[in-house]
Structure 1
Amino acid sequence: MKLFCFLTLFFTLTLQAQIQINGIVTDSNNKPLPFATITTSENNNTITDVDGKFIFKISSSATSLTVSYIGFQTKTIALINSKTFYSIALLQQADDLKEVVVSNENPALTIIKKVIANKAINDPQKKLNNFEYKTYNKLIVTANPDSIDGRIDTSAAYKDLNKRIINIDSSDYKFKEIVSKQHLFQTEKVSQYQFGNNKLKETVLGTKIAGFKQPIYEVLAFNLQSISIYDSNYELFETKYENPISRNAPSSYNYKLLDTVSIRGRDAYMIYFKDKSKHRTSGLEGVLYIDKENYAVAKAVMRIKGVLDISGIHEFEYIPKEKIWFQSNTTFKIVKGKNDDDIRILGGTIQFDGDVEDNFERRKKVASDFTYLLSESNSFDIRVNTDTPIKSSSLYIEIKDDAAKKPESFWEAYRKENLDLKSQKTYLLLDSLSVRNRIEKRLGIGRKIINGFYPIGPVDLDLKKIISYNNYEGFRLGVGGITNDRLSKYFRIEGYGAYGTKDGVFKYSVGGGVLLDKHTNTWFNGYYTDDVREIASTVFSVDKRVFKIYDPRPINISTFYEYVGWRANVQTKFIPKTEAVLELSRNYIEPKFDYLYNLNGKLYSNYIMTTAMLSIVWAPFSNYMQTPTGRNESDKKFPRFTFQYTQSLPNVFENDFTFSKIDFKAEYEKQYLNRQKTGLLLQAGLAMGDVPITHLYNTAPNNLTKETVVQRITFAGRNSFETMFFNEFFSSQYLMFQIKHGFDRLTLFKKVRPSLVLVTRMAWGSMEKPEQHVGPAYKTLDKGYYESGLELNRIFKGFGLGGFYRYGPNQLMRFEDNIAVKISYVLDLGL
Structure 2
Amino acid sequence: MKKLLVLLLSFGYFSIFSQSKVMVRNSGDQSPISNATVSCNNKIIGRTDASGMSVFTTKCKKVEISANGFQNDDIVVDKVMEVFLVKTDPNVKNIQTIVLENKSDPRALEILRKVNENYQQNSPKSLDSYSFKSYEKISLDFDEDSINAYNAYITNRIDSLKMLPQRTMKAAERKDSLESVNLMKLVGGSKMFLWERASQNLYSKKYGEKINILDNKVAGLKEPIYELMAFRSNRNQIPKEVREENRNLYRFFLTDSIEIEGRENYVIRFRQVDDKQSAKQRKFNGYLYVDKATYALKKIESNSKIKSEGSITSIWKPVENKWFLVKENYKLKMGSTSFDNDEAKDKNKTKEEKDSTKKHTKKFGSYAFVTADYFDFKTSIEEKPEDFKGYTMSVKNSDGNSIDQYRTENLTGREAATYTKIDSLSAKYKLNQRAKALTGLLKGKVRLGMFDFDLARVIGYNKYEHIRLGAGAKLNEKFNRFISPDAYFAYGIYDKDFKYGVGVDVRTTLQKNSFFRAEYFDDVMAAGRFSENLWNFRMKIMNSGVALNNNMFFGYKGFKVSYENDLTNALTINIAAKRTQEESKFNYNFKELGSRFDIASSTITLKYSPNSKNIMTPTGKYTYEQNLPELYLNYEQGYKALGGDVQFSRFDALFVHNFKTKLGLTGVRLYGGLVTGDAPIWKNFTLNGLGNGNGGLNFNLTSYLGFATMEGGKYYNDKFVGAYLTHRLPWYFKSFGKNVSSFDVIYRGTIGDMKNPEFHQFEFKKLDHLYNEVGLEWNNFLSSQFNLGFFYRVGHYNTPKFKDNFAIQFKLKLLGF
TM-score (norm 2): 0.73
3-state SS of paired residue (2:657)? strand
Closer/same/farther in 2, CA of residues 286 and 733 from structure 1, 3 Å limit: same
SS at match of 1:604: coil
Which residue does the alignment assign to 1:765?
A: 752
Secondary structure of the structure 1 residue equivalent to 2:386: coil
Q: 1:375 aligns with which of 337, 346, 370?
A: 370
> Which residue does the alignment assign to 2:346?
none
Residue among 393, 417, 440 paired with 1:425: 417
- Paired residues for 1:397-408 under 5 Å: 397-401=392-396, 403-407=397-401
Equivalent position SS for 1:651 = coil
Partner Cα distance (1:207, 1:415) in 2 = 11
Partner of 2:205: 197
* Aligned equivalent of 1:9: none
| Total equivalences in the alignment | 706
Partner of 2:46: 65
2:648 paired residue number: 659
Q: Cα distance 1:56–1:766, how it changes in 2: closer, same or farther (>3 A)?
A: farther
- Higher normalized helix content (fraction of residues): 2
Q: CA deviation at 1:563?
A: 0.8
Distance in 2 (alpha carbons) for counterparts of 1:42 and 1:180: 34
Give distance in 2, aligned partners of 1:86 and 1:746: 34
Map 1:261-660 → 2, pairs under 5 A: 261=260, 263=261, 266=262, 268-269=264-265, 271-274=267-270, 285-288=286-289, 290=291, 299-306=298-305, 309-314=310-315, 316=317, 324=321, 327=324, 329-336=326-333, 367-369=363-365, 371-389=366-384, 391=386, 393=388, 397-401=392-396, 403-407=397-401, 410-546=402-538, 552-598=545-591, 603-627=593-617, 630-652=620-642, 654-660=643-649
Shift of 1:133: 2.8
Distance in 2 of aligned mates of 1:106 and 1:464? 51
Instruction: Say yes or no: does 1:242 pair with 2:242.
Output: yes
Output the aligned Cα RMSD.
4.9
After superposition, the Cα gap between the structure-2 partners of 1:144 and 1:477, relative to the gap in structure 1 and judged at 3 Å, is closer
Kept after mapping to 2: 8 A contact 1:298/1:325: no
Query: Is the 2:186–2:421 Cα contact (8 Å) retained in structure 1?
Result: no
Change (3 A) 1:297 1:367: farther
SS in 2 for 1:404: coil
> In 2, Cα distance between the equivalents of 1:55 and 1:637?
47
Q: 1:118 to 1:815 in 2, by over 3 A?
A: closer
Q: Do the aligned partners of residues 759 and 255 (structure 1) sit closer, same or farther apart at CA in structure 2, a change above 3 Å counting?
A: same
Answer yes or no: is the 8 Å Cα contact 2:316–2:325 preserved in 1.
yes
Q: 1:363 to 1:689 in 2, by over 3 A?
A: farther
The aligned amino acid for 1:811 is N
Residues 145, 180 of structure 1: 8 Å contact kept:
no
Aligned AA (2:757): P
1:778: which partner in 2?
764
Deviation sequence 1:596-653 (CA, Å, 0-9, x none): 111xxx523211211111112212222333456644322122221111111123311x
Supply the distance in 2 between the matched residues of 1:424 and 1:220 (Cα, whole angstroms). Answer: 21
Residue number in structure 1 paired with 2:77: none
Contact 1:645 1:663 in 2 (8 A): yes
Identity %: 22
Q: How many Å apart are 1:241 and its aligned residue? A: 4.3
- Cα distance 1:68–1:521, how it changes in 2: closer, same or farther (>3 A)? farther
Q: Return closer, same or farther for 1:268/1:657 CA change in 2, 3 Å cut-off.
A: same
Partner of 1:806: 793
SS of the residue aligned with 1:405?
Answer: coil
Structure 1 distance, partners of 2:300, 2:121, is 21
Distance apart, 1:689 and its partner CA? 1.4
- Displacement of 1:558: 1.9
Contact 1:152 1:173 in 2 (8 A): no
Counterpart residue type for residue 187 of structure 1: W
Report if aligned partners of 2:257, 2:266 keep a CA contact under 8 Å in 1. Answer: yes
Deviations 1:112-132 (A, max 9, x none): 999899988865544x54333
The AA in structure 1 aligned to 2:720 is Y
> d(CA) in 2 for partners of 1:703 and 1:790?
17
* 1:570 counterpart letter in structure 2: Y
CA distance in 2, matches of 1:787, 1:437: 54
TM superposition shift of 1:679: 3.2
Deviations 1:340-363 (A, max 9, x none): xxxxxxxxxxxxxxxxxxx9xx99
- Aligned in 2, Cα 1:629/1:441: closer, same or farther, shift over 3 Å? closer
Q: Tell me what 1:222 maps to.
A: 231
- The answer (yes or no) to whether the contact 2:335–2:367 under 8 Å persists in 1 is no
- In the alignment, is the contact (CA less than 8 A) between 2:732 and 2:740 conserved in 1? yes
Q: Deviations over 1:771-826 (max 9, x none)?
A: 3222x12222222212234455756976776543333222345444333455x352
Change (3 A) 1:222 1:413: closer
Gaps of 5+ in 2: 1-14, 71-104, 158-179, 337-354
Checking the alignment, whether the CA contact within 8 Å between 1:41 and 1:64 is kept in structure 2 is: no
1:372 maps to amino acid = Y
Question: How many angstroms does 1:698 deviate by?
Answer: 0.8
Q: Distance in 2 between matches of 1:660 and 1:577?
A: 27
Q: Could you say if the C-alpha distance between residues 747 and 42 of structure 1 is closer, same or farther in structure 2, counting changes exceeding 3 Å?
A: closer
2:663 is aligned with 1:703: no
CA contact (8 A) 1:221 1:397 kept: no
Structure 1 residues 118-157: aligned runs within 5 Å:
124-126=124-126, 129-147=128-146, 149-150=149-150, 152=153
**Contact 2:334–2:368 (CA under 8 A) maintained in structure 1:** no
Cα 1:452–1:636 change in 2 (3 A) is closer
In 2, distance between residues paired with 1:295 and 1:806?
Answer: 49
Q: Distance in 2 between matches of 1:449 and 1:385?
A: 40
Partner SS state of residue 587, structure 2: coil
CA contact (8 A) 1:260 1:267 kept: yes
For residues 82-106 of structure 1, the C-alpha deviation after alignment (integer angstroms, 9 at most, x for no partner) is xx96634799xxxxxxxxxxxxx99
Distance 1:152 1:337, change over 3 A: closer
Secondary structure of the residue that 2:259 maps to in structure 1? strand
Normalising by structure 1, report the TM-score: 0.72
**Is residue 206 from structure 1 mapped to residue 215 from structure 2 by the alignment?**
yes
Deviations 1:698-738 (A, max 9, x none): 111122332x314x655554432232223321100011112
Change (3 A) 1:615 1:365: farther
Q: Distance in 2 between matches of 1:57 and 1:325?
A: 34
| Alpha carbons of structure 1 residues 760 and 114: separation in structure 2 relative to 1, 3 Å | closer
Match of 1:603, SS state, is coil
CA deviation vs aligned residue, 1:438-468 (integer Å, no higher than 9, x gap): 2332232233345333333322233333333
Quickly say closer, same or farther: Cα 1:678–1:381, change in 2 above 3 A: closer
Matched, 1:681 2:669: yes
